[in-house]
Every structure is written in structure tokens, then in C-alpha cells.
Chain A
Amino acid sequence: MKRLATGGRIDRSKPLTVSFDGKSLPALQGDTLSAAMLAGGVSLVARSFKYHRPRGVFSAGVEEPGAMVHLRDGGRHEPNARATVIEAFDGLVSSSQNAWPNLNFDVGAVNNWASPFLSAGFYYKTFIGPFKHSTKFWMMCETFIRRAAGMGRATHQTDPDTYEKRNAFFDVLVIGGGVAGLSATLSAGRMGAQVMLVEQDFDLGGAVLSDPVGSESESWVSVVRDELLAMENVRLLTRTTAIGAYDGDTYALVERVSDHLKAPQNHQVRQRYWLVHAKRVIMATGAIERPLVFGGNDKPGVMLAGAARSYLNRHAILAGQNVVVATNNNSAYEVAADLSQAGASVQLVDMRVSVADSTQAIARAAGATVVLGHGVLEAKGVKAVNRAIIAPVDVSGRAIGPAKTLKTDLIAISGGWAPAVHLWSQRFGKPVHDKASAGFVAPDNPDCPIQAAGTTAAAASLDEVLTQGFNQGVAAAQAAGFTGDAGEIPVTFDTGPFWQAGLSPAWATFNAKGKCQGKAFVDFQHDVKINDIDQAHLEGYVSVEHLKRYTTLGMATDQGKLANINALSRMAELRGLEIPEVGTTTFRPPFTPTSIGSIVGHEHGRHFRPTRLSPIHHWHVENGAKMTEAGAWMRPWYYPETGEDLRAAYVREAAHVRGHVGMVDVSTLGKIAVQGPDAAEFLNRMYVNGWKTLAVGRLRYGVMLREDGFVMDDGATARLGEHDYFMSTTTVNAAKVLALAEHLLQTAWKDLRVHVTTVTDQWAAIAVAGPKSRALLSAVSDADLSREALPSNHFTKASIGSVEVRIHRMSYSGELAYEVYTPSGFGRHVWETIHAAGKAHNLRPYGTESMGALRIEKGHVAGPELEGRTTMKDLGLEGFASSKKPFVGSVLRKRPVLEDPERPILVGLEIEGEKGAKPGSLLFPADGEAKGHGDGWVSSTTWSPALGCNIAMGLLKNGKSRKGETIRVINFVGGETLTAKVVSHHFFDPKGERQNA
């Protein structure tokens, strides 16, 4: 391996600092990491997945199965990076993976010798089989297998880079910037369509970039690129891979914005995930060269022929001095010619006995030797190839004569090419077999939104590639509604032969006994040998889908790119079928490995989900509140005073409310304006209780069910005017209730003239609770809040701090309490006004924890009880249900299973001892075995300042008749058993004297 003094699309004036396993590599601007490795004489790059066999650079593109490395370090560390697609940059640090203690001496290589025991399906046979009716052996082995599994190791450090998502809309999306893609973009662009062209390489040209510098093809690309750059309706995106094709004509692309840099510069993102919506797509994704199968075909020094040509003409690297080019098709002749002209000694070994003189002349004229009717039987060498055993072969690849040995340091192989139809397959299923090219292509269907062009459609000459691309561009633009003039097709140019003409069906070389000599790999990435396919066949695997999963063939990053055709060929031979009869697998996204970061974009950390803030939020934060999440909301949890923890703070706050007065921000309650002449009827149907008699100025508590009869939500609704109601819901269920209401009004209840509109954002709400609440609000507002003027379940309009507010008389805490509703823009002002006035009344703010303690003391149900599995009867709310009208859930709540008298019902629990119960603890009788789900569970729990003990609410089987019984409260997770006395859940002021004061 050496870098040539001339040639290549590299900038020799820009050397780069690149390293692999601490060794400095002579990289130049324009190199990939794999090119830099080859230039630096690195042949051993990695160890294989299962057998830890030495692997080198096998390809020059996304299909690379072996040269996978650790890239970068720190938070930017990336495992399993394919060296063939990593652009070299100054400061690039890479290291080997899947090897211990080092790449040269890898203990895991012992697997290679144990390979007879590690064949297809060995996990299932070895680790599960030994002991029937037990998985213990497997569980023991799993630990070790998991440790050995995988290749590279990911980092636990935080990724310091940012990623972004972007949507784009185009008439035509062209995927692939080779000749076909450029031609298609040209014609569609000339016709006026909005066109996006994406190319995964950093330069346009596709296969042309592997032609010698200065060739005709280079100037062709240059002219076309210039014309495209001048078009305002054409967008060219390089370093961008189309990874997925999805329904709705949506395509996912990943743009590697900063991957060619040591770190993103100037606040740019590392990668950008594009979601492109395109009316038509031209898939000009080219073809992937197929390997030949023979013993040792995975050793460093065996390389795809096209890759050897790419490294030569693009990077000026001669990958071997004594080269054997092994092929079954014409496309390798140009490779042999280029390598020979570059100074290598080249022997072209062709499995075919008859090849056109003109084709042979391409190689011979450059100085290469052509050996027909021969195949490579085995590659020899320990960590790199040093010999090739070749033998004369018949049409099936079986040796028919004596073998001979060739000294070589590079075996360049070509078994034909496979059109890259992955994206089409992702959307439309299995591609069809094309006999002429011996590959799979998308079926011909002009109405399909994805059309293939060029070698993706198995075009057999450059002229065909160019014409096909251009015409597909015209067709796509026309399908998108454009009728402009596409102009002339650009002139074509000469290129080497394609693979189709005279292609031999032979894909592997066997010895005289019909066996591959040594380990012959079909899937290089997952170490699947031809023997594994044979074994799977012997074990009865006839479906290609089963074969794939049993052998793991075509998995990981390969995704069938290299392994597919050869595996299908073998299966067809074994089953005595043709390849189309065997079928193929369906390709799945992503086409290439995709960073999780790009898929996530900004939606992590503080953007993991949206956060909702009360209009008074910043007051809470500024005044020392500890905040907690409540659904999407942030709410004040508690306001600690010096030295207080949560327990001390909430107990103090709750006790303060009972003794004095407290205020809590309840702006998070769902608020829905219900308007219209049929609003009362709407409420009648939504809630279980009746609404037609509710007078203006009054409010009423209501319960609503789901269609299936379970309780969905509860809340109070006020009648503001003749046709105006103000519904409140729980914080958590606000969106659900609104969505149900909208749904019913637009479908089942179109007869009702009602509009529902969320007004949660319109109103801030402040609950003022405690025996001094009336005195405080009377002082701070102009309202008459006397018991006579404003009884429970009434509201009045008032002014606080010059702001018009509405004061509702209702209580959640069991204390005399009011809810003050103010336009949200004035929320903080009103809160501060009440807070300031409250000093004279010993007012304290309180948070959600003490609010919860107060409501448990009072026995009100909330989220833990309204959890979707409870009925009105379970919760003691059945008295609210009207028997005179239907309502949502009124029929299904009567199902026998919901009427079962043994259903757990709501009870109170007085916990004995100092420790409180954990929510979710199970309830068992005082005696007997504690097994199964018990008689019920704890839903809510708190220390009760009013009662001076721990209390809880729970649902208990036959709870009504068990009052006074002592039961066990068992927390199996925490290993804790408590005892509790079953009591009424109305722990505090059951007659409601305090709230009705």
C-alpha cells in the first residue's frame, strides 16, 4: 500500500493530523479515514463480530462491513463508525474496537478456533437446551454473552453537540448525486420544478469520482454542477444520506453538517434530520458491488474491486503492489487496467472461460495478465493476505483442475453489482429479480412516486444511465405539474464496461468436493459463513426470512447490502430453485446507521416535553418554593422555611390552613368555556348529575364517566350567564375532557348548539382557604362575602387590586374557602395583592403537598383515585348520578362486573405507628398468608396534622362492612408491613361544618 505522487482528488498541500490506535496517519484533505489508513500502511483495522478475525478495509463506501472503529473521544465518542465514510479532518482520533487487550493480540480470537461450536443458532442450542423446563442455565450464560456481544462501546458521557430537525417540501427529490441523479435534477430543474438533490458523499459525481482525474467524466460533472448551482429552484445537499422512505411521500435524510470537523463551529449543529415531503422521488442510489465467496475472503487485503479503484483514482492510493483481480463480470477489467497503469503487477482471474477480446484488451493493454476460467479458491495469510490459491473452475465455480499459488498483497474481487433499491423496498416491499443483471430491482410502474434511474435500475451502459436519469427527471417534473422545456440531454462520454453483459452466475469458488476451502464468508459483518447457510438449510429453514433471523445474515449495518444476493444464490442452489422463487427480504429503514441524536433533535433535556407555567409561576420560584411536575405543569410543591424538609414544610402548611388562612395557586385547573343555547343539555350529557336547574351565579360539583362506565374526571361548573358556563376540570384531565367534548359535539351530538373553548390560559386561579379566609378576602376585595350573601357553591364578581375578579365559594380542603379567578395577565398582581393584605391575617402560601394532605383529611378523591379503574360506586359517588337522564357511561356503568358487590370500595385507613403507608401498598386481612393482589390497595397517603397520625385512602374489598377492622398494609417493593384500622374516608369534619361556616 502506498500513496502515489500524483493523481487523486486530494489536496496534497493540506496534510491532516489523523490517528488510529495512537499511530499517526498521513492523511490529506479529501481523504476518508480508511484512505488515510491505507496510505499509512494499516491493513489490520478491526476484529470481526463473532470470531474476532482480523479485518481490514473492504470497501470504499456505506457497505463497509469490517473497518469499523471507535471515533473521537469524550462526549463525542462514537462506536462502530465505518472508516470508509468518515471524512478525514485535522485532529481526527480513532481507535480499534472489539479487541482485547489490543488489536494485534486479541484474546477473543480464540473464538475462531471454537467456530465449529459457534455456528448458526448456537445460542438456542447450547444455552437453552441442556435443562428442560428451566431457564437457569441460560440466565447464567446470558451475563457472559451480553458482555461479549456487540462491537464498539458507547460512552456514558453527555453528547455536547446539538442536532436539529427540519421539514422541507419539494416537487422532486433526487437521491444520489451520480450521473443519473445529476441528469434527473438537470431536467426536472430546467422544467421549473422545485428540486432537492441529496448526495451522501461530500462531493457530487457518484461513481465518476472513482474515475481517473482529468477524465471526460469529471468535466461532465463540472458543467452539470455549475448549471444546477445557477438554478434557484434547485437545492443541492451533499453529506446527506436518505435513510428512510415512509408513507405520505415523506423521506428522512440525515445531513452531516459538522461531522467533517473536529467539533461543530459557531453554534452549528452536528447533524440535521430532514423530513422531506416530495411529490416524486428519483432513486439514483447506484449499485453496490457484490463480493465473491471463497475461503479467507474476509482477510485484510481482500477488497471490493471498485473500492480498489476508488482508493487509486480518488485518493491516489495503490492498495497493493501484487494484485489479483478476481471476477465473474466485465466491470473489473477497468479496475485491473487502472491498477496496472498505476504500477501494480496485476493478474485478472476471471471465472468465465470466454470473455470478449475487446474487454480483455482493456486490461491487457495496461499490462495486466488475464487468466480465464479460474477462480480464487482461497486467500492465504494470517493478518493480511500474502497468497491467493487459484484453480480452474467450471460454470458453477467448482475447481476442475490443479490449484496454483499466486503471491499477492491485494485480492480485488467483483461478483457483479446489486442495485441499491433499499428506499423503494422500505415503502413498497420486496423488489423483483432481474435476470439480466442478476439482481433485484424495483418493478416497472410509471405511477409509483419513487422511480429508479441509472444503475439502481440496472442500466447497462453510461449512455443508458444518463438518458434514463434525464427522462426520469422529465417524468417526475411532469407528474408534479410542470410542463417547461427540459432542453437537450447532455452529451454522454466513454466509460468502462458495466457488469451485466456476459455475467457469470458463479458467485463462489468450491474445491473439487464442492466445499469452500477454509472459512468462506457470505455476511462479513455478522460472521455468517456459507457453512451456516448450509446448516440452516439442513435444519429445515426454507424461508428466506427465517434464514435471515436464524443465521443473523444481513443484519447490523450491512442490512443486506453485501450479503443478500450471495445468500439467496446459495439458498436457491440448496433448494433447487431459481432465485426469484426463493424470494428476498424487505429492506427496513434506516439505510445507514443513524445517530440517536439526529432522530431526537432538540427534544431532550428541557425540551423533552413542553412545560406549562402558571401566570404566577415566577412568584413561587422567587419566593423559595420547591417546584414539582404535575402533568406538563410546574407547580409549587412546598415553601420551605429555614431548615425544613418536605415533611416538615407540608405538615406546617396544612396545619396553618386549618388554624389560620393559606393561599395556593390553582391556575393549573382545566377551564373550559361552554357556550350555547344547549349548554345545559350538553352538561347533562357529560356529567352524571343534572344541570338544567343551575341558576346564574351558582356552581355545582359534577362527575363525568367514560363511555365504559369508569369515572373520568370531576370538577365544578359555574353558570356565568344564560348561555355561558365555566367548567373546571382536574389539572391532569383538562385536555382529555376538552377532546371528548369536542369529539362528541362534532359527531354524536351535532344536534346541540354548543361551543367549548379552553380558557385555562385566560384565567389564573387562587384558592384561599382557612377560617380567616373570609376576613382576608373581605378586606382585600369589595365583595360581600358573608355567609348569607355568598353561600357555598355560589360566586360573585369583585375587585381586588383594581382588577375585576370572580370569587367562587367552594372548598377542596374542608375549610371555609374561596377560589379567586382573575384574568391571567393580572394573576401575579392579584396574588401579590392578596398576599400583602394577608399579613394582617397570618396568611401563608401553601403547595401541592399540603393541598393533598388537606384533601385526604377531608376525603376528597383526586388523581390517585380517578385512575381509570374506579367506578362511582367504588368511590362513593353514586349518589350524584341522576336516574332521570342518560349521560356518557350511564349504560355501561351498569355492567355486572362493575356492579359486583365485592369490588374494592373507597375507605379511610388510620395507620398505626409512626410510619406512613406507601401509595400502591396492598391490603390484606390481619391474619393469613399475604399472597396475590390482596383485598385492595392504598391510593393516597399523608400525615394528618389535624388527626395527629398517618392516614391513607384506599380501595378495599367489602370495605363498607369492614369499618373498624384492623388490616395489614404491605409494601412488597419496600419490604414493609404496617397495620391500619379501616375507617370512613371522611376523616376530618365529616359534617362539613367548617367549610359551610
Chain B
Amino acid sequence: MPEPLSPLTNKTVAGHFGAGDAHGVTLGTRRVSSLWQIAGWGDFEAVAKPVLTSLGLSGLGCFRHAQQLGAVTVWRIAPDKILLEGVRDLAAAASEELMVLDLGHTRTAITVEGSASRDLLAQVIAIDTAPAAFGPGEFLQTGIHHVGVLIHCTGPDRFDILVPCTWAETIWEVLFDNALPHGLTIEEAA
């Protein structure tokens, strides 16, 4: 089995760009592996809980806080839909009450880090990015350049942006151009 190709292979050229004396933003990529969606109806909690429990998680979580345990990250993206990253094949968990969908190739992650990372986000999304409003562990679903994305705050000034693979280059370019005034460092592809 070959390695999946990152949609940003052509973009992640390491180097420093933009404002010469500044290092406000570092952009990088991270492969999103094993991404699954579980969805249900009615008593979604009852049917989803066994799946989550088997991963060591206690509940469905909420719409702003991601749950993380080891390599597993869980985002509750709708009342009856949950995204799970870093999990095993969940196909066996499917039932008439619980729909399971492999989305492992739908998204890639753009990582944003640095002292100006919140400023950069404020340039591309109309949501409060101040630390008090969007702290570590929290996530939000919004649009960058008209494309739906999920942004997960993974550290004080660090974010993962899950973007649809076919839109990845355009989002990358938007972030790149917006980051230039802050001084931009591109990391070697992960």
C-alpha cells in the first residue's frame, strides 16, 4: 500500500517569507489519518457511547471542546454527529441506529503556530480568536475564504485547521498571503 499523497505536497516549501525581521507565524501541515464520522438519530448518546467508551472516552462531549485521549481526538460537530481522528477502523460499529463513515481522505490539517497566529486567524474568520474566547482544547467550525473548516486550538498560540483536501491549496495560499506581514516560517512537511 503506498503512502497517501498530501494535497499540500507542492506548497510546503520550507523557508522564511514576508516581514524579514519577524517570526510571527509558522505554517505547517499534518496528515489526518483515520478520520471517521459516526452519526445517529433519536437517542444518539446511547448508541454512540459504546464506541466512545471503547476509546476510553466518557461522553459525547460538547460543541466547543474537543476530547483528546492519546492519539485520539474527538469533535462533536453536530448534535448527532461526531468526528473521530486517530481511531481504528470503525466499520464494525455500524448498525441500523449508528451510521459510520470513513472520511480518512477528506481532510488535511494545516498547523498554525506563533505569536501572531491569533491575528492571522482574525484576518480570515469572523469569530473571536482572543485567548479568552478560543482557548486550548476548544474548536470551532467556520469558513475560511468561503470553505468550511474546523479549527482546533491545540495550544496557547497553536491551531490545527482541518480543511477539505480539494480546497487545501487555496486555503493554504490565503493563509500564506495573510501571514506575510507577520513574518512567516514554513515548516518542512511532516
A residues with CB within 8 A of B: 162, 164-169, 194, 266-269, 275, 277, 602-603, 606-607, 609-615, 618, 633, 667, 673, 675-677, 723-724, 753, 755, 757, 759-763, 801-803, 823-829
Contacts of B146 in A (CB 8 A): 609-610
- A selection of 8 A-B contacts at a CB cut-off of 8 Å is A610-B146, A753-B42, A755-B99, A757-B37, A761-B166, A803-B2, A824-B165, A824-B166
Expressed in whole angstroms, the minimum distance between the Cβ of A901 and any Cβ of chain B is 43
B135 CB–A CB distance under 8 Å: no
In terms of DSSP, what is the predominant structure of the interface of chain B?
Answer: loop
Contacts of B6 in A (CB 8 A): 825
Contact of A602 among B127, B168, B174 (CB under 8 A): B174
Residue of B nearest to A802 (CB): B1
Q: Is the CB of B167 within 8 A of A610?
A: yes
Interface residue ranges of B150-186 to A (CB < 8 Å): 164-171, 173-174, 177-178, 180-181
Contact of B41 among A165, A277, A753, A827 (CB under 8 A): A753
Expressed in whole angstroms, the minimum distance between the Cβ of A734 and any Cβ of chain B is 11
Contacts of A757 in B (CB 8 A): 37, 39, 101, 103
Contacts of B125 in A (CB 8 A): 167
Contacts of B129 in A (CB 8 A): 167
Expressed in whole angstroms, the minimum distance between the Cβ of B16 and any Cβ of chain A is 11
Q: Is the CB of A267 within 8 A of B122?
A: no
B145 CB–A CB distance under 8 Å: yes
B81 CB–A CB distance under 8 Å: yes
Expressed in whole angstroms, the minimum distance between the Cβ of B73 and any Cβ of chain A is 19
Q: How far is the CA of A277 from the CA of B129 in the complex (A)?
A: 12
Q: How far is the CA of A286 from the CA of B105 in the complex (A)?
A: 57
Q: Is the CB of A610 within 8 A of B145?
A: yes
Interface string of B49-81 (1 = CB under 8 A from A): 000000000000000000000000000000011
Q: Is the CB of A612 within 8 A of B4?
A: no
Check A166/B123 contact, CB under 8 A, given A602-B177, A803-B1. Answer: yes
Q: Is the CB of A169 within 8 A of B128?
A: yes
B126 CB–A CB distance under 8 Å: yes
Q: Is the CB of A760 within 8 A of B166?
A: yes
Expressed in whole angstroms, the minimum distance between the Cβ of A73 and any Cβ of chain B is 24
Check A606/B103 contact, CB under 8 A, given A761-B166, A826-B2. Answer: no
Contacts of A169 in B (CB 8 A): 128, 130, 133
Q: Is the CB of B96 within 8 A of A723?
A: yes
Contacts of A667 in B (CB 8 A): 166
Expressed in whole angstroms, the minimum distance between the Cβ of B160 and any Cβ of chain A is 17
Q: Is the CB of B101 within 8 A of A828?
A: no
| Additional pairs, 11, CB under 8 Å, beyond known A275-B126, A755-B39, A757-B39 | A162-B180, A164-B123, A610-B167, A610-B171, A759-B106, A761-B105, A761-B107, A762-B104, A823-B4, A824-B105, A824-B106
| B: contact size bracket | 35 or more
Expressed in whole angstroms, the minimum distance between the Cβ of A275 and any Cβ of chain B is 7
Expressed in whole angstroms, the minimum distance between the Cβ of B27 and any Cβ of chain A is 15
Q: Is the CB of B5 within 8 A of A167?
A: no
Contacts of B177 in A (CB 8 A): 162, 602, 607
Q: Is the CB of B19 within 8 A of A825?
A: no
Q: How far is the CA of A468 from the CA of B160 in the complex (A)?
A: 46
Residue of A nearest to B163 (CB): A761
Check A759/B166 contact, CB under 8 A, given A167-B126, A268-B181, A602-B174. Answer: no
Q: How far is the CA of A959 from the CA of B79 in the complex (A)?
A: 52
Q: How far is the CA of A676 from the CA of B101 in the complex (A)?
A: 11
Q: How far is the CA of A167 from the CA of B123 in the complex (A)?
A: 6
Q: How far is the CA of A620 from the CA of B58 in the complex (A)?
A: 47
Q: Is the CB of A759 within 8 A of B101?
A: yes
Contacts of A633 in B (CB 8 A): 166
Contacts of B123 in A (CB 8 A): 164-167
B45 CB–A CB distance under 8 Å: no
B147 CB–A CB distance under 8 Å: yes
Expressed in whole angstroms, the minimum distance between the Cβ of B32 and any Cβ of chain A is 10
Q: How far is the CA of A449 from the CA of B126 in the complex (A)?
A: 20
Expressed in whole angstroms, the minimum distance between the Cβ of A779 and any Cβ of chain B is 19
Expressed in whole angstroms, the minimum distance between the Cβ of B85 and any Cβ of chain A is 14
Q: Which 5 A-B pairs have the closest CB atoms?
A: A825-B4, A169-B128, A675-B99, A761-B106, A823-B105
Contact of A802 among B2, B80, B99 (CB under 8 A): B2
B18 CB–A CB distance under 8 Å: yes
Contact of B20 among A266, A612, A803 (CB under 8 A): A266
Q: Is the CB of A762 within 8 A of B106?
A: yes
Check A267/B173 contact, CB under 8 A, given A823-B104, A826-B2. Answer: no
Contact of A612 among B5, B99, B101, B167 (CB under 8 A): B167
Q: How far is the CA of A602 from the CA of B178 in the complex (A)?
A: 8
B102 CB–A CB distance under 8 Å: yes
Expressed in whole angstroms, the minimum distance between the Cβ of A243 and any Cβ of chain B is 18
Q: Is the CB of B170 within 8 A of A610?
A: yes
Contacts of A168 in B (CB 8 A): 122
Contacts of A613 in B (CB 8 A): 7, 166, 168-170
Q: How far is the CA of A827 from the CA of B7 in the complex (A)?
A: 11
Q: Is the CB of A269 within 8 A of B4?
A: no
Q: How far is the CA of A162 from the CA of B182 in the complex (A)?
A: 13
Residue of A nearest to B123 (CB): A166
Check A267/B180 contact, CB under 8 A, given A602-B174, A676-B99, A827-B5. Answer: yes
Contacts of B166 in A (CB 8 A): 612-615, 633, 667, 760-761, 824
Q: How far is the CA of A753 from the CA of B181 in the complex (A)?
A: 49
Contacts of B4 in A (CB 8 A): 823, 825-826
Interface residue ranges of B93-115 to A (CB < 8 Å): 94, 96, 99, 101-107
Q: Is the CB of A673 within 8 A of B178?
A: no
Q: Is the CB of B105 within 8 A of A829?
A: no
Contact of A267 among B19, B81, B164, B168 (CB under 8 A): B19
Contact of B99 among A267, A611, A723, A823 (CB under 8 A): A723
Q: Is the CB of B173 within 8 A of A167?
A: no
Q: Is the CB of A166 within 8 A of B122?
A: yes
Expressed in whole angstroms, the minimum distance between the Cβ of A481 and any Cβ of chain B is 13
Contact of A675 among B7, B39, B168 (CB under 8 A): B39
Contacts of B126 in A (CB 8 A): 167, 275
Contact of B96 among A268, A615, A677, A802 (CB under 8 A): A677
Contacts of B96 in A (CB 8 A): 677, 723
Q: How far is the CA of A277 from the CA of B130 in the complex (A)?
A: 13
Expressed in whole angstroms, the minimum distance between the Cβ of A46 and any Cβ of chain B is 35
Q: How far is the CA of A723 from the CA of B41 in the complex (A)?
A: 14
Expressed in whole angstroms, the minimum distance between the Cβ of A123 and any Cβ of chain B is 42
Q: How far is the CA of A828 from the CA of B5 in the complex (A)?
A: 8
Contacts of A723 in B (CB 8 A): 94, 96, 99
Q: Is the CB of A266 within 8 A of B21?
A: yes
Contacts of B168 in A (CB 8 A): 613
Q: How far is the CA of A826 from the CA of B105 in the complex (A)?
A: 9
Expressed in whole angstroms, the minimum distance between the Cβ of A274 and any Cβ of chain B is 9
Contacts of B122 in A (CB 8 A): 166-168
Check A825/B105 contact, CB under 8 A, given A613-B166, A618-B10. Answer: yes
B187 CB–A CB distance under 8 Å: no
Contact of A801 among B2, B41, B174 (CB under 8 A): B2
Expressed in whole angstroms, the minimum distance between the Cβ of A821 and any Cβ of chain B is 11
Residue of A nearest to B3 (CB): A825
Contact of B5 among A166, A609, A802, A826 (CB under 8 A): A826
Residue of B nearest to A602 (CB): B177
Q: Is the CB of A825 within 8 A of B41?
A: no
Interface string of B31-51 (1 = CB under 8 A from A): 000000101011000000000
